[in-house]
Structure 1
Amino acid sequence: MSWKPRRKFWDEVSVAPAEAGHTVRLDARELRTPGQAPLVVPTAALAEAIAGEWRAITGEIDPEILHYTKAANTAIDRVSREREAVIDAIAAYGDSDLLCYRAEEPEGLAARQKAAWQPWLDWAEAAFGAALVPVRGVMHRAQDAASLAALRREVARFDALGLTALYDLVTLSGSLVLGLAVARGALAGAEAWEISRLDEIWQAEQWGVDLEAEQAAEVRRVAFLRAETLLGLLGTDEISS
């Protein structure tokens, strides 16, 4: 039997208050997650963003356009139940942060990396007491345990939805420091993305643009900026657990 996409079955999409937050209704039916938990989010702004996704549907339901709905589902069904494992997965990027691995050569690239990346390592030390040490080359160098513990404590401040957004910021950029800088409002997402792609930008300048790679990077860029927007919809008072 072939799978048939579900089609729109409602007339009105609305946001309604719910215990511990806000929910979205399709006519009188409240949204639920794939795990059948009530889809309740902490802010009206995020609920309205989710409602907007459902209002945009005119025919078949395409899960690929339900970005904020998917984030809420993930936070409720998975992240809230596997919180410590998710924190560990995000915090682990601190031990191999992109910003710590500088080119051995050419010197022009190494200098550009230092100029763009070192200020954010300095920021992490000032903000969290996490002194990450940069190295030349790609061989892994373990970072100071106390610094990694400080970064993990910062990650652990986030609630399930905040962790869902932070996970994308960190994994898409390859940098825990950049992800936290965006989450804390110290760095704009668009600038953080450009900083994270410094090596690729250098390569394109030297050898020309790889169109296929650029198309893939654009998909990741959009997802990265969407994660930043998700944090904005949560508000600064809502990301902490």
Structure 2
Amino acid sequence: MLCSRSGACAVTPQLGVVRDVLLQHAFTPFRTTSGARSVVLLRGPESWRLHLTTCTRSYTQQRKRFYKTVNISQEDGAFQISLDRRRLRTPMGNIVKLPNEPLALSVATEWEAQKDIIRTSSMYMSRLCNKAIDNPLNETAEERIEQTLPFLDTDTICFRAEEPPVLAELQQKAWDPVMKWVEKRFDVAFGSSTSVIGPEIPDGTKEKLRKLLRSFDAWSLVGFQEISEALKSVILALALVERHISVETAVALSRLEEEYQIGHWGRVEWSHDVEVTHIQAAVAAALMFVQFNQEVRVVSQKLPSDTNKEQSVKSTSVQ
């Protein structure tokens, strides 16, 4: 880091690389080309301000399909994907090594489904795997849990409307049964509030859910966090993972107030439908991601030791 006497500090270009990696993980439709990059921190009298200075041009990313076949191989207890003869890598350059076959099949299918142009925005499972493998922020499982629990304080179905009465009644009929089921299932209490502050979640509830999430492996936590963020609700995420509700129901419940407003004020043609489809696809992929990692782990733990040994390298073509 280089700092001038005025207090301005220029961080080395490596930070720009980290920024690019994070952008790739978000699968934004834009990226920057090579050029001068710097991150400048200007220290003001009261706070720090972060300025990203980029002397580059941006363009819509259009990457053509460069491979003919997609293959799956198993080596050293992990599954790998090959595009022709090249190993699939993450945005940070790590070889994609997946812990179970269902995940490998899902990722391979996404790559095989690409046509002339590779559209990463449609590859939800690949994005989750990349995030779990690269872990660009070096987050531990405990840190992911502590990032997820605060969603309870702003959980969508804990905030209720007083007006109009029709919406308030709709929320009560749609949300209360799911909330009560989760409360009974995990012996916790949430409550609801019409205040902008929201209900005060008991410490005992957070501690019980903390212990529950600690039973998840690191990869499953990535998926659960994704579901909670997409639905803006840990409660709905729990009901979904426990298979009490479907993906379509979970998304509909998370958008209850929005759909009410759309019904009242009208729908923007195509826009709302595309948004709902995107959320459903993202949540469905994250749910499968959790289930593949959780259920395969449980099955492997129950298998006899002689059938759970590492097997020789296997290769499968996905076509």
TM over 0.5: same fold? Answer: yes
Q: Distance in 2 between matches of 1:5 and 1:191?
A: 34
Q: How much has 1:153 moved relative to structure 2?
A: 2.2
* Equivalent of 2:265 in 203, 207, 230: 207
Whether the 8 Å contact between 1:231 and 1:239 is mirrored in structure 2 is no
* Equivalent of 1:222 in 281, 287, 301: 281
Matched, 1:134 2:192: yes
Q: How much has 1:239 moved relative to structure 2?
A: 8.4
Q: How much has 1:193 moved relative to structure 2?
A: 0.9
* CA deviation vs aligned residue, 1:130-170 (integer Å, no higher than 9, x gap): 20011123223321111112122222322233222212211
Moved more, 18-27 or 1-10: 1-10
Whether the 8 Å contact between 1:159 and 1:239 is mirrored in structure 2 is no
Stretches of structure 1 lacking an aligned partner (at least 5 in a row):
none
Summarize the Cα distance change of 1:222–1:207 in structure 2 as closer, same or farther, 3 Å threshold.
Answer: same
* Equivalent of 1:98 in 156, 181, 197: 156
* Equivalent of 1:24 in 81, 89, 106: 81
User: Equivalent residues in 2 for 1:136-215 (5 A)?
Assistant: 136-211=194-269, 212-215=271-274
User: Equivalent residues in 2 for 1:49-88 (5 A)?
Assistant: 49-78=106-135, 81-83=138-140, 84-88=142-146
Structure with bigger strand share is: 2
Q: Distance in 2 between matches of 1:34 and 1:205?
A: 41
- Secondary structure class of the residue paired with 2:257: helix
Q: Percent identity?
A: 27
Q: How much has 1:227 moved relative to structure 2?
A: 2.0
Summarize the Cα distance change of 1:154–1:202 in structure 2 as closer, same or farther, 3 Å threshold.
Answer: same
Structure with bigger helix share is: 1
Q: Distance in 2 between matches of 1:129 and 1:13?
A: 46
Q: Distance in 1 between matches of 2:229 and 2:298?
A: 18
Q: How much has 1:93 moved relative to structure 2?
A: 0.8
TM-score (norm 1): 0.85
Amino acid in the other structure paired with 2:208:
A
The count of residues paired between Structure 1 and Structure 2 equals: 240
Whether the 8 Å contact between 2:78 and 2:98 is mirrored in structure 1 is yes
Q: Distance in 1 between matches of 2:150 and 2:77?
A: 31
Q: How much has 1:194 moved relative to structure 2?
A: 0.9
Amino acid in the other structure paired with 2:244:
A
User: Equivalent residues in 2 for 1:29-40 (5 A)?
Assistant: 29-40=86-97
Amino acid in the other structure paired with 2:121:
E
Q: Distance in 2 between matches of 1:21 and 1:116?
A: 43
